[in-house]
A and B are shown apart, each in its own frame.
Chain A
Amino acid sequence: MSVPARLAMSLLVALGASGTLPASAFAAAADPLASARWEEMRRGVLGGTAAVFDAQVKVLAPANAENPTQVPVTVDATALADVAEVVVFADFNPIVEVLRFYPESAAALLGFRVKLQQSTPLRAAARGADGVWHVGGSWVNTVGGGCTAPSAAAASTAWQSRLNEVSGRQWQLGAERVRLRLRVVHPMDTGLVAGTPSFHLDDVELRGASGERLMRLRLFEPVAENPVFTIEYRAPGQTLVCTGGDNNGNRFSARIAP
């Protein structure tokens, strides 16, 4: 990180800590996505701790999302050093938090799909070695209704026998770089459709052959039905073990060969 960026950041840390300086003195803190709910997000989702807007945290999503139940998102915080945690959230979603991931030995990168209820800033905040949230994001326009549309699973019971079924595949992208794509069968019901309670994957983790953890994820209702994740790491040629469960206590474990 450049020196000026560090300076700006420490000023913001100071502001976050004291909270007494007039906001007008820090025009740099203006939300680049100009959301009326940013301050609420900062206090709620980020726990009121120091946060800076940082273009190094990239949130890739279509500017116009055709299908609000399956909006593709790629979060890339690999430009930051030592990312411990990334939280993804959508300011105007009825359930704001989408997921959190802890890259551990994997890259600070995650591809997945989200349900959006209306047009909203879609953001990722990455907590780096400095303990500060680095916030990136983009605005996604959508016709909406993604969170109150019933899951496809709600229309039939065929999925029940396949609940938590995992399919995954690894691709060697370079000498060291490996990509995993992972799909889990789950309705991911938001609880916002009358008569269908919240039912969603809760935790997922991925370990290498020797048991070391590559990544841990905490998932919330807005993650799209039958989630598909794209994850990258430097552990070529290993059989991975993926374990997880949902908020109803259904657990799963699957091995994914190299």
Chain B
Amino acid sequence: MIRWLCAGLVCCALALPGAAPAGDFDYALQARNVAPDAYAFIGRDEDFDTLNGGNIVNTGFIVGRDGIVVIDSGPSLRYGRQMREVIASVSALPVVLLINTHHHPDHFLGNQAFADRPIGALPGTVQAIASDGDAFAENLYRLCGDWMKGTEPLLPTTTLRAGRLDVAGRSLRLIALAGHTGADLAVYDETSGVLFAGDLVFNGRAPTTPHADIDVWFKALDELEALSDSPGFVALVPGHGAISRDASPIRQTRAWLSWLQASLREAAEAGLDMNEVLTRALPAAFVALPVAASEYRRSVGHLFPAAEKQALDHAH
């Protein structure tokens, strides 16, 4: 569904003009070993800007017997290329599949660096990249500047479906969910017990909501939490924030979304205008959470109109 031409604009902060980035545009990516043969690149707990070049996201890869599966490609061509160099330094095996967990720009704009490889995503993700990809890219150019040089949206080449995927001599469980966006794919590596949760889970950073359906998101979190209780589970790689050995980031994400939903409903029921909602203070529990204030403001823009409509429609 095309909401706005500028749908891509709404998920991101305004860049502040300021210091120039490092001249070499080096993301200094480091592959963290999450479990045997499972790795993650952990981004900063920040908004997009010209200093971090969009490296605010987590990506990862799994080294199988016959090849490598990459999970998300980062915010830019440069990121994708640098990521691929680091992967090559870890293993000489070929990349056999890149998976895009969802259609947000920081998760797929590095696809060009993997243009010679199969790129897979859920059908809803492919459609959304096709419709919103250009606007997203334009927005990141504005926010991240020259880090984006040469970056263009590249569509996934194959569609993935829920269930077991045998690839590179590895058995992956693809879990097709939604809620953060219309199509969110979580990837569970059965061998290592590592769950790549995509943006369904944020850790130590306020979640983003430009395409969120919070009730649907809750169901996805329940499913992921159940998986984290299963015997083989070892670690969770969230879409943003630190790697976790337990379900605490799932609960943290749920707590933020529950508060956000209840707070917006209550504000709408009380007859508040959007400007009044924007100026409300964050509860003590979230004041110290990175980017909480800016994500709250964005979420009001994304979600308050629906809460307001519900309050007005059900007046009498």
Q: Hey, which bits of chain A sit against chain B, CB under 8 A?
A: 60-62, 64, 66-70, 72-74, 111, 113, 141, 143, 145-146, 148-150, 152, 155-156, 167-169, 171, 173, 179, 181-183, 226, 228, 230, 256-257
12 intermolecular pairs with C-beta atoms under 8 Å apart: A67-B6, A70-B305, A111-B274, A155-B1, A167-B309, A168-B315, A169-B315, A171-B271, A181-B271, A181-B312, A182-B312, A226-B309
A-contact bits for B1-17, CB 8 A (1 contact / 0 none)? 11111100110011000
Which positions 291-316 of chain B face chain A at CB distance < 8 Å? 297-298, 301-302, 305, 308-309, 311-313, 315-316
In the complex, the answer to whether A73 meets B308 with C-beta atoms within 8 Å is no
Q: Dominant SS at the B interface?
A: helix
Determine which residue in A67, A113, A183 has the highest number of CB atoms from chain B within 10 A of its CB, and name it.
A67
Is B89 engaged at the interface, CB distance under 8 Å to the other chain? no
CA distance A64 to B278 in the complex (A): 12
Q: Would A183 and B312 count as touching, CB distance under 8 A?
A: yes
Determine whether B273 belongs to the interface, using a CB cutoff of 8 Å to chain A.
yes
Determine the residue in chain A with the shortest Cβ distance to B8.
A143
Q: Which residues of B contact A (CB under 8 A)?
A: 1-6, 9-10, 13-14, 139, 142, 270-271, 273-276, 278, 297-298, 301-302, 305, 308-309, 311-313, 315-316
Chain A: minimal CB distance from B210 (Å) = 9
- Complex Cα gap A97–B16 (Å): 29
Residue among A67, A73, A111 making CB contact with B301, cutoff 8 Å: A67
Knowing A64-B14, A70-B301, A179-B271, the reply to whether A168 touches B139 (Cβ < 8 A) is: no
**In the complex, what's the smallest C-beta–C-beta distance from B242 to chain A, in angstroms?**
26
| Assembled-state Cα–Cα distance A90/B169 (Å) | 61
Chain A residues near B9 (CB, 8 Å)?
Answer: 66-68, 143, 145
- Separation of A145 and B2 alpha carbons in the complex (Å): 15
Which residues of A sit under 8 angstroms from B301, Cβ to Cβ? 66-67, 70
Q: A143-B6, A181-B308 are in contact. Are A72 and B270 (CB under 8 A)?
A: no
Contact between B297 and A171, CB atoms less than 8 A apart: no
Given the complex of chains A and B, what is the CA–CA distance between A119 and B46 in angstroms?
24
- Complex formed: what's the CA distance from A183 to B311 in Å? 11
Contact status B312-A169, CB under 8 Å? yes
